Structure formats: C-alpha cells, structure tokens
C-alpha cells in the first residue's frame, strides 16, 4: 500500500506546531525518542524528521512527497518547489537590521557595506532589485552579533518579536519578506500519493477555517429575534430553537472570532442574554 511521505523540521517551534497540526487533522504518529522516521497509526503516511535546510532537496528528489516548511526557506533554497497551502503559524519576517548608532535613511545607505546573513540568495535578489551593491558575509548561526564584533555593518535575519535585535542594539530597517509555515509539495509526487495529499489538505483547510471562527449561542425574547439576526454576521442564517420558557428562543451561529467583540454590546442592547462563545475544532464548508 502506498504511503505519503511527510517531512517536518526535526526540532524547534516549527516542529512542535507541525506535530500539533497533524494531531488536529487526526493523524496519530508513533514518535519514539530520536527517531528519524515514524509511521502514522491511522493514515497511510510516514513522517521524516529532517533539518529545515535539507527539506527542499528531499522534496526536489522525491524522497518525501510533502513538507511543512517555512516559506523563507523555499524562497532562499527552492524557488522551484511549489506550496499549496499557507498554514498560519510560525510567522516571521526576513528583515535588514543595522546598529542603532548607524545613520540610516534608505536602502541606499547600504551601498558598499558588509551585510551578514544566512540568506544570501534572498538578500542578493533584494539588493539587485534596489540597485544596491554590498558585500555579503555568510554566517550560519548567530547573525545578530556580527556588527558588534566588527564582522559586518548590517545583518539580514529572521525577525519574530524583535527582542533579539533589541538585545544586540540593532534596529529593523527594511522588510524583505513575510514568511509563515507552508505546505510544500514534491514535483515528483505520484498520482496515488497526490490523492492522499488532497485528503490531508482538505483536513488542514477544515482545521484552519475553524481557528478563525467561534460558535456563538445566546438567548433572547422572541420579539428581538429579527434584530438579533440582523446584527449577527453569521455564515448563513442562525439556528433558532425555542426555549422551555415561553416567548424565548436560543440562537446558534458561527462568526469570525475577530468580529465578536465589535458586536457584543449591540447584542446585549437588543435583548441577547446568556451569551456563550465556544472554539471550533473543525469546520467543513
């Protein structure tokens, strides 16, 4: 029986969130300590635990069929590899940062400067686009210390919270790329495994949609139902169920999680009581 070969990062935050996503879509992995490969118990799939930077080549060679990987890695190492889904986690940005004491008005200030980075291809593309000539000092590891020890005038690195830049007296100046985890696919994936991938992608889409919505239940006098329905930005029409108390009903609907606090006061002013907001695990539309 054909098995879908899935690559994920061996360790780090991307690993943890990737494993959680597999769990959320119902794929149970028997993951023993220090295993490099593990089989799913309830889905025809194997998971390969790899170094993030090695994953593009495994995809290119068809050793794995799909991977959960940072978009920034694809931009740097594998522009020939396509991704089919943005996964909404491990968000970061690839940015240029310079010492706070360095005068900086525009990208032109990096002309002739030394830039330390682990992303030479990404940086070269950006500099070429902006007609800037600079020398790259390629570092694997702690790029942010380079200006402090005289190795470079500026750096290009991944930025998440910005705390590492702050600790090293650096200031973010130019955004090169916004990145997040994506679902990348091998160009050599078989027809049989493409079918398995389609099933996984459908499950992922259901989980991702659910994370953006909340299930809302509320009680209201029957005379307020038309107005409540107007207020609720539901998917279609809310479910209305009569309560044991005469003249009262319960309304159930699904709304965007970011809209709830904008309408809560209006719901209360128009008779809504006993409002419950619940997370949704999966949502199939």
Residues β-bridged to residue 92: 179
Q: What is the pLDDT of residue 173?
A: 94
Q: How confident is the model at residue 34 (pLDDT cuts 50, 70, 90)?
A: low
Euclidean distance between CA atoms 169 and 182, whole angstroms: 32
Asked if residue 50 has pLDDT above 70, the reply is yes
Residue spans in the chain of domains classed CATH 3.30.70.120: 213-279
| CB-based contact 227:196 (threshold 8 Å) | no
How far apart are alpha carbons 199 and 3 in whole angstroms?
13
User: Mean pLDDT, to the nearest integer, of 122-138?
Assistant: 94
- Sheet with 37-39, side-by-side order of all strands: 37-39, 45-50, 4-9, 66-70, 181-185, 82-86
Fold topology of 213-279: Alpha-Beta Plaits (3.30.70)
DSSP alpha helix (H) spans, 88-236: 120-129, 163-167, 191-211, 225-231
Domain with CATH 3.40.190.10 in the chain: 4-89+180-210, 92-179
Mention the CATH class of domain 92-179: alpha beta
User: In the prediction, which pLDDT does 265 show?
Assistant: 86
Of 125, 115, 107, give the one whose Cα is nearest residue 156. 115
The confidence score (pLDDT) of residue 30 equals 73
The answer on pLDDT for 238 being more than 90 is: no
Q: What is the pTM of this model?
A: 0.84
Q: Output the average pLDDT for the chain.
A: 90
pLDDT of residue 185: 97
Looking at the chain, the whole-number percentage of residues with pLDDT higher than 90 is 64
Give ∠ CA 29-34-37 in degrees, rounded to 5. Answer: 45
What are the beta bridge partners of residue 222? none
Of all residues in the chain, the percent with pLDDT exceeding 70 is: 98
DSSP codes joined into one string, 41-66: SSSSEEEEEE-GGGHHHHHHHTSSSE
Where residue 43 falls (left for φ over 0; alpha for ψ -120 to 50; beta otherwise) is: beta
Structure token pair of residue 124: 């070269």
In tens, the pLDDT along 167-198 reads 899 999 999 999 999 999 999 999 999 999 99
**SS3 for 99?**
strand
With bands split at pLDDT 50, 70 and 90, how would you rate the model's confidence at 235? low
The alpha-helical segments, DSSP class H, found in 50-132 are: 55-61, 71-77, 120-129
Q: In the CATH scheme, what is the code of domain 4-89+180-210?
A: 3.40.190.10
| The Cα angle at residue 257 between residues 252 and 262, in degrees rounded to 5 | 90
Does residue 13 register a pLDDT over 90?
A: no
Q: Residue 186: which of 81, 85, 71, 53 has the closest Cα?
A: 81
- The pLDDT assigned to 33 comes to 55
């Amino acid at each position: 029986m054909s098995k879908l070969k899935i690559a994920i990062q061996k360790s780090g935050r991307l690993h943890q969130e990737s494993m959680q996503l597999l769990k959320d879509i119902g794929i149970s992995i028997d993951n023993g300590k220090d295993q490099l490969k593990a089989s799913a118990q309830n889905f025809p799939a194997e998971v390969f635990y790899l170094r993030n930077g090695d994953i593009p080549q495994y995809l290119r060679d068809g050793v794995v069929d799909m991977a959960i990987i940072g978009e920034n890695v694809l931009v740097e190492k594998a522009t020939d590899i396509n991704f089919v889904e943005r996964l909404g986690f491990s968000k970061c940005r690839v940015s240029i940062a310079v010492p706070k004491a360095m005068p900086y008005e525009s990208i032109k200030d990096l002309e002739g400067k030394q830039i330390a980075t682990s992303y030479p291809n990404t940086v070269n593309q950006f500099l070429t686009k902006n007609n800037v000539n600079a020398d790259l000092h390629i570092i694997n590891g702690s790029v942010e210390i380079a200006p402090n020890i005289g190795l470079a005038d500026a750096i290009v690195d991944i930025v998440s919270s910005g705390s590492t830049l702050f600790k090293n007296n650096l200031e973010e100046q130019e955004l090169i790329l916004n990145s997040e985890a994506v679902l990348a696919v091998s160009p050599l994936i078989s027809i049989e495994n493409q079918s398995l991938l389609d099933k996984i992608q459908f499950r992922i889409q259901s989980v991702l949609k659910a994370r953006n919505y909340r299930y809302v239940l509320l009680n209201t006098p029957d005379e307020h139902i038309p107005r409540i329905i107007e207020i609720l930005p539901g998917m279609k029409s809310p479910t209305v169920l009569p309560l044991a108390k005469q003249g009262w009903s319960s309304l159930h609907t699904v709304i965007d999680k970011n809209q709830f606090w904008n309408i809560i006061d209006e719901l209360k002013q128009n008779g809504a009581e006993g409002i419950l907001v619940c997370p949704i695990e999966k949502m199939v539309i």
